[in-house]
Structure formats: C-alpha cells, structure tokens
Chain A
C-alpha cells in the first residue's frame, strides 16, 4: 500500500531545481506533491510523482542523486482535528514522524498527508485499524 517518494539532493545553486524539474517534464513525469527541506548549502527535494520507477530512472541517467523511500499517504478528514487524529494514532503506537507534508486531491475536497515514519508497515497497519483511508501507488497516479 505504501507509496514511493523520490528524494533528490540539490546543491544550493542557481538553476538546479529547474534542471531537475526539466528532466521530469521532458520525460512526461507528472508531479503530484512535493516538499523541500532546505539547508544553507543544499536542499532535499521530496516528490510524489505519477511514476516513481520511471522518475528515478530518468533522474539517475542525468547523474542526479536520487533515492526512493516508502512513505504513507493518508486521507485527512476535512474537519477540525482531522490531522491530529492521524498524528495521535501514530503517537499512541510509538511511531515517530521524521517529516510530513500535505496536498489536496484534485477530484474532491479531501486533503492527503504524506508521512515518513521509521516503520512504514506498522504505521499502515495501525492507521487502517482506525479506518483511516490510505492511498496506494495507483490512486496517487490517477489523482
């Protein structure tokens, strides 16, 4: 069920983000969601794309430092406390969140939160038990 996120190492140089995005664009890879962790001299661009395997391959061909990481994509109820519910379930189960970011589904009004936790399998299991809807590769691709 987990989805693969691409993580790209970006040096803090003018045009580097543009270079990476151009590679994806040229190769018909669509970006669904992204977040950028920035440091003074470099950043880590995290991407959910329409085809993670193809995305990794085309970036590697261009000598971009890229790796893929399993992340959990969970639907958030559009109501106060919606996100807290998910975070709370993870906390109860002792699962630490390394980082997270969110995007909105195109079709509806649901928000999706992407979570990077140490134990992806366990996170999925406990979220499903509490009836949180998780998105798979196919659903993300068709957003």
Chain B
C-alpha cells in the first residue's frame, strides 16, 4: 500500500513553489498551443508564455470563467482529441446548459491519486470499508471517491445516493467504517434511522467525508453527535477534477489543497486582485497537470480564505483553504447587503432548540426586499405555551438581525414541511422579479 501521508504532502514551501513553477510553464505552453480559447485570450492580453518566469506572473493572466466552459460546449475546450478522452462527466447549470468535463487516462490516474491522498488525509486506510453514497453517474462525486478508494486499496461499496433503508442495512451488515455523501444526506439518513428504529450505535462508522455542498460547523456537530463519528469536509468541483481537490484532516482547521496539482489563489471577486493571506475572497484554481481539460485561473465562485502554514495537526504543508463560506452566485443581495445562506445557518445552529431544517424565502414587496426564514418546529422545540414559541421566534429574529444587520421575519412551520433532499439542499427560494 502506498503511503499517502508523506512525500509531496510535506514538501517545504520552496520545493512546492519549484514544482508549481515547472508545471505551470509547461501548462501555459500547452494550453497556448492546443486550446484556441487560450491562444486567443493570451494574444489579446499580449502574454508571451515563453517569458513566464515566476508564479507571481500568474496575476497577469486572464481568468477562465464557467461561461467559457458553456460557450465551448461540449468539447471545444479540450486540449486532446476526443479519442484520448476515456471518460466524460457533466454537471447541470442553472442556465440549463451543461458544463462538460473530460479525462484522459493520465487524468484518471491524477484523480485517483488526489482522491486517495484525500482519503488518507481523513485517516482512511486499507481495511476500511467505504460506503460511497455520492451519486454515480454524470456527477463526479461517486466515481471520484471510487477511484480514490481503489488507488488507496480500501474496500468500496458503490451504493450511490438514495435508497436510505438499503443504505442503513448495508452500513450495518457490511460494517462500513467510512461514509461518503453530502452532509445533508447524512443528516437525512440519521433522521430516517431514528424514525425506523434503526440503532445507529451498532454501526462501525469512524469517519464521514462530506462535501458537494457548503455546510457549517453546526451541521458538523450535529452529524458527529447523531452518528458518533468524525465528520470531515472534502472539496472539489468537476471543472477542476471532481472531489479530491482539497480535504480536511482530523485537525478540522481548513482543507489541504493538493497544490502540486491545483494551484490556488484567492481574489477579490469585484476587482480580480489577490487578497492578503487569511482574508476571504473567491478561490481561483489553475490545474497544473491535467491533460484533457487544463484550466488557467479558473474562477470557482467559492468564497474561502487561504492559510499556507504547516498544519499543526497532521504536519502537511499543502496550503489550506477554509471551509467554503458561500458561493458568489448563492450570495443574496438583500437591500444592498450581501447575505450568504451559510451565515443564517450558523445563527440557527447556535440556537440549541432549533433543528437544522430551515429555508430562506426572499420576496420583493413594493420594491423592498423581504427575507423570511422558515424554521421547522420539531418536537424538541415545540411547547404547548404560546409564550415560549414567541420567545423562540424573537430569539431567532434578533440573532439573525444582529449578525446580518438587516431585518428578517421568522415563521415557524410544521416538521417535514420543508422539502428534504437526497442531493443538494434547497435552502433558498428567491421569489424576486
């Protein structure tokens, strides 16, 4: 079994920079030669890829946005002929047009490697049984984790998403030790287990690797409590490779990004300029070693901060991104104030009585934005006394208002009246315009 806990994961900052620069130089020549979009955009900006001499030069290169991928639908951005592409994945966008990604044999090997490093980072070893409840299919979650498990030499159950009763049965009978799925599905399964009288204390789970949607520390605590396991965050996006771009270790203090393959930058989304280390901004990634779909300065739309210090928990030197604070495109602008759904979730999680099921409804009345938060009245918070429910409403309102600085109304709703998700949670309903 390969040891993924050492080697490149612990190189010095100088060594990492050297690897990155070497790879970056090759990448830029490659995309300039092979991808018409980059040939054109480098020409427009008068960028001579042969003169590229330091990572700092990266800031002069143009960004690649998601719309570039859509405009080049389906294969025009590929750097290799389709015959070299072994696997295609696609994700649906809000505009309806798909974002298509392709993998050569070398790309699949890369994906396997970074995903294996991610699993190892979470403490997964050979002998572990991974219940992979990410969807298998066009979505990269299922197969990405699968490849990593094979590379690492762990046992993988390709159960895919859904079929909660069967998930619980397999978990018990196959003695799964690792659960991989979206965090909201982990909570959903815990709820199902309770309802159907399945005793989760008999499960052997030691760690859950959760991603594909932003989640908060409150949700982590909830999952760890319900399942009695460690809950760690994984980050990835299909444009870059899929899951396995960055992974938390048990220190739970940021996600190690595999920067020898994925070069991170954090920028101010409005100006495009780099922000200082530790400051929040949009994560931008350059893929250093991909063949089929290399991307230069790809704007992920995810809000993070960066930390390049050596990890005090695991000793890895790979830089860490914070948990995703929100998405540029999820960001709600309510009466001119930027609001991330995750901020509201954090507030709700800090009120012990409130369950994690909530929904934000944004409407516009007489040109004024109104935000309403629906909170489910679960048994634990329901009281026969109106006074206590009113106090709870007031508490939620005042805590959200003091965090966001805008007014909000809270509506208590019946349990299970907010739509549950197997995939990604629908936390926001924007009814404006």
Contacts and interface: CB of A to CB of B under 8 A. Distances in A.
7 contacts: A7-B383, A9-B377, A42-B377, A44-B386, A44-B389, A65-B415, A98-B387
A98 B379 CA distance: 20
Nearest to B417: A11
A69 interface: yes
Nearest to A43: B386
A130 interface: no
B51 interface: no
B382 A67 contact: yes
Which interface residue of B385, B387, B414, B416 has the most chain A CB atoms within 10 A? B414
4 tightest A-B CB contacts, nearest first: A7-B384, A63-B416, A65-B382, A69-B384
B235 to A, nearest CB: 34
A5 B411 contact: no
Which interface residue of B384, B385, B386, B417 has the most chain A CB atoms within 10 A? B384
Contact of A42 (B378, B412, B416): B412
A37 interface: yes
A99 to B, nearest CB: 7
Contacts of B416: 63
B406 interface: no
B429 interface: no
A41 B412 contact: yes
A16 B414 CA distance: 10
B413 interface: yes
A57 B386 CA distance: 23
Interface residues of B, number: 18
Given A9-B377, A44-B389, A64 B414 contact: yes
Contacts of A26: none
A39 B382 CA distance: 15
B384 A5 contact: yes
Contacts of B414: 9-11, 16, 63-65
A35 to B, nearest CB: 10
A118 B333 CA distance: 45
Contacts of A44: 384-386, 389
Interface in B338-390: 377-379, 382-387, 389-390
Which interface residue of B377, B382, B416 has the most chain A CB atoms within 10 A? B382
A9 B385 contact: no
Contacts of A65: 377-379, 382, 414-415
Interface of A: 5, 7, 9-11, 16, 37, 39, 41-42, 44, 46, 63-67, 69, 98-99, 116
A9 B416 CA distance: 13
B411 A41 contact: yes
A97 to B, nearest CB: 11
A9 B386 contact: no
A98 B385 contact: yes
A33 to B, nearest CB: 14
Given A9-B377, A9-B412, A42-B412, A67 B384 contact: yes
A37 B416 CA distance: 22
A25 to B, nearest CB: 19
Contacts of B389: 39, 42, 44
A8 to B, nearest CB: 9
Nearest to A46: B384
A13 to B, nearest CB: 9
A67 B415 CA distance: 13
B298 to A, nearest CB: 43
A71 B413 CA distance: 26
Nearest to A60: B379
A39 B415 contact: no
Contacts of B377: 9, 42, 65
B169 to A, nearest CB: 22
Given A41-B411, A41-B412, A44-B389, A9 B417 contact: no
Contacts of A98: 385, 387
A39 B386 CA distance: 8
B379 A67 contact: yes
A98 B382 CA distance: 16
Nearest to A16: B414
Given A10-B414, A11-B417, A39-B389, 8 more contacts: A37-B386, A39-B386, A44-B384, A63-B416, A67-B382, A67-B383, A99-B385, A116-B384
A41 B387 CA distance: 14
Contacts of A64: 414-415
B411 A7 contact: no
B385 A11 contact: no
A41 to B, nearest CB: 5
Contacts of B379: 65-67
Contacts of B415: 63-65
B390 to A, nearest CB: 8
A66 B384 CA distance: 9
A111 to B, nearest CB: 22
Contact of A11 (B386, B387, B413): B413
Contacts of A42: 377, 389, 412-413
A44 B385 CA distance: 8
Given A44-B389, A63-B416, A65-B377, A9 B382 contact: yes
A59 to B, nearest CB: 11
A69 B382 CA distance: 11
